[in-house]
Chain A
Amino acid sequence: MLEIKNLHVKLEEEEKQILKGVDLTVEDGKVHAIMGPNGSGKSTLSYVLSGRDGYEVTDGSATLDGEDLLEMEPEERAAAGVFLAFQYPVEIPGVGNMTFLRTAVNAQRKARGEDELSAADFLKEVRAKAKSLKIDADMLKRPVNVGFSGGEKKRNEILQMAMLEPKMCILDETDSGLDVDAMKLVAEGVNALRDEGRGFLVITHYQRLLDHIKPDVVHIMADGKIVKTGGPDLALEVENNGYADILAEVN
């Protein structure tokens, strides 16, 4: 279970408060969606949860199954089960996708005191999972995300997620840049991972994705806070009417 309480975050380098008291609990087995206007702090929340530099937590807490995430290094959070599918996946020239995946999988296993996956088992697993996401062998061999199309990058994120089997999956606009078919593939990939023990936090601007990945709870974030929480209908309301009504109502 991911529990975020009264989380306040400012930029490290400047006096700019971005998150202004976020409260959010994602229970195991549930899918929570976050929507909200551009610049409201959704990506910042995802970065702070995964441990990116440049942010300072000024108040509040974030725990996964009771463990304080904010005290951990990014790699420790990953080993504890946090996974962020990036809004903008990073290109890494010179590092093969396959090598990267294998290093990541084995590093996490090692951190958890488990045996490393043998080369053969790894290969078998990665091939099967890549196939279901329509990621071809060539993409696996190429350097991480280099020369991938926008949609390919997003599918590659989901492949990493499938290989790492995290406890808490955070998806930051994984639907943006995807064509209709790719969106279905990605949604299937996500749905295949839905499990009693696993929580999802899905950041999106569009109802469309939520047609495929049915959320249990929908939150609206505005100006660094969760301003409204509801069921799947809330996403429909946003789709139809935008944020104006909701924001007016809160103010």
Chain B
Amino acid sequence: MNHAHGPKRRINRLSWLIGGAQGSGVDSAANVFARACAHGGLYVLGQREYYSNIMGEHSYYQVRVSDKPVKAIRHRADLLVSFDAETVFVHACDVSPNGGIVYDVKLETTPLDRVPTLDARFREDMRRFLEKQGVGLTLKDLLSVVAQGGVRLYPIPYDDLLQRLAEELQQPLSRVKRAVNTLAVAASTALLQYGVEWIEKALEEVFRGKARVVASNVRAAELAYDYVARTFEDDFPCRLEPVETQEARIFLTGTQAVALGKILAGCSVQTYYPISPATDESVFLESHPSIRLRNGEEGALLVLQTEDETAAIDLAIGAAIAGARAATSTSGPGFSLMVEGLGFAVINEVPVVITLYQRGSPSTGMPTRTEQGDLRFVLHAGHGEGPRIVLASGDLEEAFYDEVRAFNWAERYQVPVIHLLDKALASTSETRPLYDTHGVKVERGKLLFEEDLPGASEDGAIRRFRFTDDGISPRTLPGTEGGIFWLTSDEHDEWGHITEDPVVRTRMMEKRMQKLETAAREIPREEKLNVFGGPEAEAVILSWGSSKGAIVEAMELLEAEGFPLKFVQVRLLCPFPAEEIAQELEGAERIVAIENNFSGQLAALVREKTGIAADHLLVKYNGRPMTVEEVYEGIKRCLTEGEEAPRKVVLTHGR
């Protein structure tokens, strides 16, 4: 290896993309690549895009690699890695001018209309694009166009390499064919001059326990490295180099971050009905039924698959009434069914946690695509008026700690807590240091055990809905002697018995609502919102949830260009921190709201609660997460064009 020679190269900053038909190993290929980078001390952030389909439709995986933590995906890929024609057709135009495309040489002659899974709209656009360029309609024609723009082409004869692999391993070709994704990944890392040993280590990890599969894939990787070294000039403008670090790191997805938070909080019952993109969380939890405790004991974690989402939330509420820290996980269609149970938890003051991964809606919508469209829905879900707490995480760091918060607030304020995430966070994977659990506390609020009861117990029972100064009443668990209580979905008196008395009703309504005031008073400001950037900024970005990463990265780029910005990320949505937000927005010359939905739900909420209106709205509702480039461009447009910039800018990146 000749590190010191050759043209000037960008080191350890890369946006990489692999695609292929669903079921053909795209995920494991991306996983191998990401892990290979992670083992070498690099930071990785991945995002998975896939259809609601099991086999055949196009899926892709973007991975960004850096020697600094990465916060969001980029639209442009420096290296596009493929082993089918569709991936090249779909993504070739998104490769950065100095980037490269790894592809199967035998597919060059594939005509556009021979890729049946392409969406009709895309096919038509591509046809027009190619016709406008004055070229034919094959893959090769498209490649020639992008090559003229500076993109490097790396055709790989996968069939020949697989044939060789089959001969060497003395196995039928059909057996080794699946290794084509490893050939593709290895060809890409060979171009990046990244040592093959990192790929081998990752293969061992991804295919753990399957020695034969590991062996054949390792050999495939070697063949690819060998081919690349023999065939192409060593001039790819990016390279990856391992970085020495003492830091312990994990590699995990958004659903795993949430699951870890639940486990740490002591969640012992999780219910679910299968639904994208929430299911992975429950599956991860179900594979950890016994949790190691610091006192040397084991704690049971029940994961219960129910007949539908009404049952899912009601089982969780039943378990919470019994005393378990109970949760359920779902996305829009499931939450719609849970609204009934939510109302029960509201009126009976049951601490239950609902983890909601938003996806493209309404109705079944786009099951595997992202959106931040449910904010208004969760704030008002249910008939009538009643308290709930809603918090939204912006990244995998927050997702973990927010889940613990959700359980603490649920018990402290005896309300259902809705933890908002989305598909983009669910399918983000990243390397990060181990979560620091030192400052984490378990808070169970006014929970009474037998020894606390004397005084509260009246003839064996308690007033479960006792009127108190802060609206929160002491609670017991069934099985507690002297702690008998009644709950009812009807309006009730202090004892939990049905009442329609107008005076009691008025007080009970006020008692429930008062809990939100208590929560608003007690929850610290820094848990209600994050503020990034300096006070000298004239423009303020207002946003929430998963758009955070792209915004923070875009801000860094803009600041470097002399546009200082402030970013207010709202994390607590109910009780709404109107005053705190108003303070942050006051005096702002320009307010730009950024949301992954159609109407700018948070911006409207801020206007409703503070009277302050955003000047511009950057919204995106094509089902894809925000990329750094489009947020950067969008903000810049608002800043430079000022009054001339449209009030609403629709972002459209994504395939």
Query: Is B a genuine binding partner of A?
Result: no
